[in-house]
Chains A and B, each alone.
Chain A
């Protein structure tokens, strides 16, 4: 055992025996464990799992860099002169964006746990500890977490990226310079991203009444998720743009935080000899400072205006509550359901989805992914000069509703697996017979009504405006058929009332399922629109979709038929599959 260990352990134990240290540990732990009750649907991953998950993207990308920058591979490619500080700009940008996105995503995920809440008030304020101790302990916990995540998210790339790029150069000075520049850029990106989310949440809490905040919070999170995904998507365009642009335009592009962070790396790499890079590096540091100060000021305001006033405000647990009026359409849908149980379960499913914060977040994340992908597609449509003079829609244009449909249906389907409040599922256990087959029909209607109900008319209207009646009708019909097929595939093994079953156990084939989803995404949003484009050139060709769909539905029907009756019965507790 190292000599310093007993000393540091003693110091640590002494710290956590003080009220400040005890609170610091409590608040750091809360960030990992979340703010909700056990069994109410919050996925508590534990410290180790969260850290591993956050470190994984950086590790995987760093390992890929060995393939790209290995000296043998460069020699085989015939890269003679290699300037690591110029050649790695696109990858450095990617690391910066990845670092900002992952850290920002963590801050978004644990948004509720960053600030002091009702539980903290109820447990801590009545104790004989000064309020400033609670204030500074939570602030310190946030700073500790920001530092921890900045290190963990980038830990692998700190070492592996410089080794991959300049490891074979034989100069320790170059290695150090490269590593330092890279580390500064990615850590700054992480810190900026974390505190940008923290500041946004803090400003909203400080300025809005509690009820309004709870309603706005979801939209703010959704917007931030779109921004983070947008940043991630910028790796496909920004590095190329930077190479091509004039200095004036590059200055405009440097308004993007990751670009200015790139300036930090470049400044260290070229020892400050690049005036443009030095300028934007200074701007990056100022932005980080400003975000930090804004966060702390906002936090101080929230402590005063929100936390200390908790006893005066009612506990609002069932929020955000979206009052979307589907009443008339819902009446039509309910009419198509045969039994009262189906109608009750449909109501439960849609209401839970719209009113449960956790479930809305899941759907929002998938929707944000869809929107960012659509934004990219729209950019490429805009770049396509021939769009306005075309007589039939391009594959890019046709893919837009498919992207939205896939991301939304998958998001809602994923949310179905997350329990809302397991203690409350007794009502379904009590009333529904185990042999009831209603879960699939309810889930099917929920998925279709929440996606196609607005997507199909929108798709029809937009196609009508640009390409006329025939294309609009055919495109909408294909979209409807594909969405129904997707829903049927996703529900082939579904046998639970949404949100009422415990989490599914980790399956050893989870990786394969993930690959299948990604493959499905490409088939659904790329191959199908291309097929459709081919068919729309001569509308009669659209008829070839009919046998394809018939075969697909037939296969699904046959597959369902061979599933044992016991495997179709209603399920309330997921069990691990037998190893045999």
Chain B
């Protein structure tokens, strides 16, 4: 379905992402993990076609997405890292605008927007300006905007950011249900527990390079750790986190 082949991106001579290769099939959730500055967001931008790779390419069903970005994006739902919405539009107006820009039929878009606003507990706030929404509410609006056109591929960059416990639980179930319906999900996150729980495949990135790729259990076993947290720390973090925490306390207490 979605395939990255030797993706690399350089900003000047600085490599942000180097030689990332993976394949995401229908019905799969691919978790994409890495510390800050490891190149996650750059990869997401290349997968969505916002950024052209310096080397390599992204294919969707065998076709390079750069050949026809508009056609590719009709099959794509995307939740960006920052919920940078138009503050003077209401939630309903924003979703209506996205539906129009996606060329969804009016009747279909209206019914879906209303139903999803209700299900995401945003119906009472539908006429409120987005500038007054909390972070979690904005995130829910972005999630609705991403899924309402029934896309085949979902690219989610930190989708749980700001969501309350109930919304996060609903969201996790939603992703799993969508995957069961044959959607392909690329899930970029810092929340290891969620990635461990819902992702079938896993990529761990460090300094722009893939350092682990496979099924979640395979990656864990290959490192010899029982938890994803342990695996992640062993692969990515060069420093002893307990030592750092202890040093911090020393600074404050002394």
Known: A17-B106, A22-B97, A37-B131. A311 touches B51 (CB 8 A): yes
Are A122 and B129 neighbours in the complex by a CB distance under 8 Å?
no
Are A19 and B131 neighbours in the complex by a CB distance under 8 Å?
no
Judge if B48 is at the interface, Cβ distance under 8 Å.
yes
In whole angstroms, how far apart are the Cα atoms of A17 and B50 in the complex?
A: 25
* Inter-chain contacts of B88 with A (CB < 8 A): 29-30, 33, 38, 44
* Inter-chain contacts of B45 with A (CB < 8 A): 311
Judge if A70 is at the interface, Cβ distance under 8 Å.
no
Are A128 and B71 neighbours in the complex by a CB distance under 8 Å?
yes
Judge if A16 is at the interface, Cβ distance under 8 Å.
yes
Judge if B82 is at the interface, Cβ distance under 8 Å.
yes
Are B70 and A128 neighbours in the complex by a CB distance under 8 Å?
yes
In whole angstroms, how far apart are the Cα atoms of A127 and B104 in the complex?
A: 12
Judge if A119 is at the interface, Cβ distance under 8 Å.
yes
* Inter-chain contacts of A38 with B (CB < 8 A): 87-88, 129, 131-132
Are B51 and A17 neighbours in the complex by a CB distance under 8 Å?
no
Known: A38-B87, A126-B78, A128-B71. A19 touches B100 (CB 8 A): yes
* Inter-chain contacts of B51 with A (CB < 8 A): 311-312
Residue-wise, chain A 7-46 has the 8 Å CB interface mask toward B (1 for contact) of 0000000001111001100100110010011110000100
Among residues 37 to 65 in chain B, which have CB atoms less than 8 Å away from a CB atom of chain A? 45, 48-51
Are A129 and B131 neighbours in the complex by a CB distance under 8 Å?
no
Among residues 117 to 158 in chain A, which have CB atoms less than 8 Å away from a CB atom of chain B? 118-119, 121-130
Which residue of A19, A30, A33, A121 is within 8 Å of B101 (Cβ)? Answer: A19
Judge if B234 is at the interface, Cβ distance under 8 Å.
no
Judge if B121 is at the interface, Cβ distance under 8 Å.
no
Are A127 and B102 neighbours in the complex by a CB distance under 8 Å?
yes
CB distance from A316 to the nearest CB of B (A): 14
Known: A33-B88, A312-B51. A126 touches B82 (CB 8 A): no
Which residue of A23, A36, A311 is within 8 Å of B50 (Cβ)? Answer: A311
Q: Nearest CB to that of A30 among chain B residues?
A: B86
Are B86 and A119 neighbours in the complex by a CB distance under 8 Å?
yes
In whole angstroms, how far apart are the Cα atoms of A572 and B70 in the complex?
A: 48
Q: Nearest CB to that of B146 among chain A residues?
A: A126
Which residue of B98, B106, B129, B132 is within 8 Å of A127 (Cβ)? Answer: B98
Among residues 291 to 334 in chain A, which have CB atoms less than 8 Å away from a CB atom of chain B? 311-312
Most chain A CB neighbours (cut-off 10 Å) among B82, B88, B102, B132: B88
Q: Nearest CB to that of A25 among chain B residues?
A: B97
CB distance from B53 to the nearest CB of A (A): 12
CB distance from B217 to the nearest CB of A (A): 32
Q: Nearest CB to that of B100 among chain A residues?
A: A22
In whole angstroms, how far apart are the Cα atoms of A561 and B86 in the complex?
A: 47
* Inter-chain contacts of B73 with A (CB < 8 A): 126-128
Residue-wise, chain A 34-61 has the 8 Å CB interface mask toward B (1 for contact) of 0011110000100000000000000000
Are B76 and A18 neighbours in the complex by a CB distance under 8 Å?
no
In whole angstroms, how far apart are the Cα atoms of A118 and B81 in the complex?
A: 13
In whole angstroms, how far apart are the Cα atoms of A380 and B222 in the complex?
A: 85
CB distance from B176 to the nearest CB of A (A): 24
CB distance from A140 to the nearest CB of B (A): 16
Interface size on A, residues (CB 8 A): 29
Are A16 and B86 neighbours in the complex by a CB distance under 8 Å?
no
In whole angstroms, how far apart are the Cα atoms of A29 and B94 in the complex?
A: 13
CB distance from B67 to the nearest CB of A (A): 14
Interface size on B, residues (CB 8 A): 31
* Inter-chain contacts of A30 with B (CB < 8 A): 86, 88
* Inter-chain contacts of B72 with A (CB < 8 A): 128
* Inter-chain contacts of B101 with A (CB < 8 A): 19, 22-23, 124, 127-129
Judge if B108 is at the interface, Cβ distance under 8 Å.
no
Which residue of B76, B86, B129 is within 8 Å of A126 (Cβ)? Answer: B76
Which residue of A22, A23, A123, A125 is within 8 Å of B84 (Cβ)? Answer: A123
Are B85 and A123 neighbours in the complex by a CB distance under 8 Å?
yes
Judge if B80 is at the interface, Cβ distance under 8 Å.
yes
Among residues 89 to 103 in chain B, which have CB atoms less than 8 Å away from a CB atom of chain A? 89, 97-98, 100-103
Known: A118-B84, A126-B80, A128-B71. A39 touches B103 (CB 8 A): no
* Inter-chain contacts of A22 with B (CB < 8 A): 97, 100-101
CB distance from B100 to the nearest CB of A (A): 4
* Inter-chain contacts of B76 with A (CB < 8 A): 126, 128
Are B103 and A123 neighbours in the complex by a CB distance under 8 Å?
no
In whole angstroms, how far apart are the Cα atoms of A29 and B86 in the complex?
A: 10
Q: Nearest CB to that of A33 among chain B residues?
A: B88
* Inter-chain contacts of A125 with B (CB < 8 A): 50
CB distance from A573 to the nearest CB of B (A): 16
Judge if B74 is at the interface, Cβ distance under 8 Å.
yes
Known: A37-B131, A38-B131. A122 touches B98 (CB 8 A): no
CB distance from A536 to the nearest CB of B (A): 55
* Inter-chain contacts of B100 with A (CB < 8 A): 16-19, 22
CB distance from A25 to the nearest CB of B (A): 8
CB distance from B46 to the nearest CB of A (A): 9
In whole angstroms, how far apart are the Cα atoms of A312 and B132 in the complex?
A: 29
In whole angstroms, how far apart are the Cα atoms of A125 and B45 in the complex?
A: 11
CB distance from B110 to the nearest CB of A (A): 12
In whole angstroms, how far apart are the Cα atoms of A553 and B117 in the complex?
A: 61
Q: Nearest CB to that of A29 among chain B residues?
A: B88
In whole angstroms, how far apart are the Cα atoms of A130 and B78 in the complex?
A: 17
Residue-wise, chain A 458-483 has the 8 Å CB interface mask toward B (1 for contact) of 00000000000000000000000000
Most chain B CB neighbours (cut-off 10 Å) among A19, A23, A128, A130: A128
* Inter-chain contacts of B78 with A (CB < 8 A): 126
Residue-wise, chain A 153-196 has the 8 Å CB interface mask toward B (1 for contact) of 00000000000000000000000000000000000000000000
Known: A119-B84, A127-B101, A128-B103. A312 touches B11 (CB 8 A): yes
CB distance from A201 to the nearest CB of B (A): 21
* Inter-chain contacts of B102 with A (CB < 8 A): 127-128
In whole angstroms, how far apart are the Cα atoms of A33 and B132 in the complex?
A: 14
Most chain A CB neighbours (cut-off 10 Å) among B78, B80, B97, B101: B101
CB distance from A539 to the nearest CB of B (A): 59
In whole angstroms, how far apart are the Cα atoms of A126 and B78 in the complex?
A: 7
* Inter-chain contacts of A123 with B (CB < 8 A): 84-86
In whole angstroms, how far apart are the Cα atoms of A130 and B101 in the complex?
A: 10
In whole angstroms, how far apart are the Cα atoms of A19 and B98 in the complex?
A: 9
Q: Nearest CB to that of B77 among chain A residues?
A: A126
Are A39 and B131 neighbours in the complex by a CB distance under 8 Å?
yes
Residue-wise, chain B 99-141 has the 8 Å CB interface mask toward A (1 for contact) of 0111100100000000000000000000001011000000000
**Further pairs besides A33-B88, A123-B85, A128-B76: 14, Cβ < 8 Å:** A38-B87, A38-B88, A118-B84, A119-B86, A122-B82, A126-B78, A127-B98, A128-B72, A128-B74, A128-B102, A128-B103, A129-B70, A130-B70, A312-B51
The 7 A-B residue pairs with the shortest CB-CB distance in the complex, in nearest-first order: A38-B131, A33-B88, A128-B73, A128-B74, A22-B100, A38-B87, A126-B78
Return 21 A-B CB contacts under 8 Å, by A number.
A19-B100, A19-B101, A22-B100, A22-B101, A26-B89, A29-B88, A29-B89, A30-B88, A36-B87, A37-B131, A38-B87, A38-B88, A39-B131, A119-B86, A123-B84, A123-B86, A126-B50, A126-B78, A128-B76, A128-B102, A312-B11
**Chain A residues at the B interface, C-beta cutoff of 8 Å:** 16-19, 22-23, 26, 29-30, 33, 36-39, 44, 118-119, 121-130, 311-312
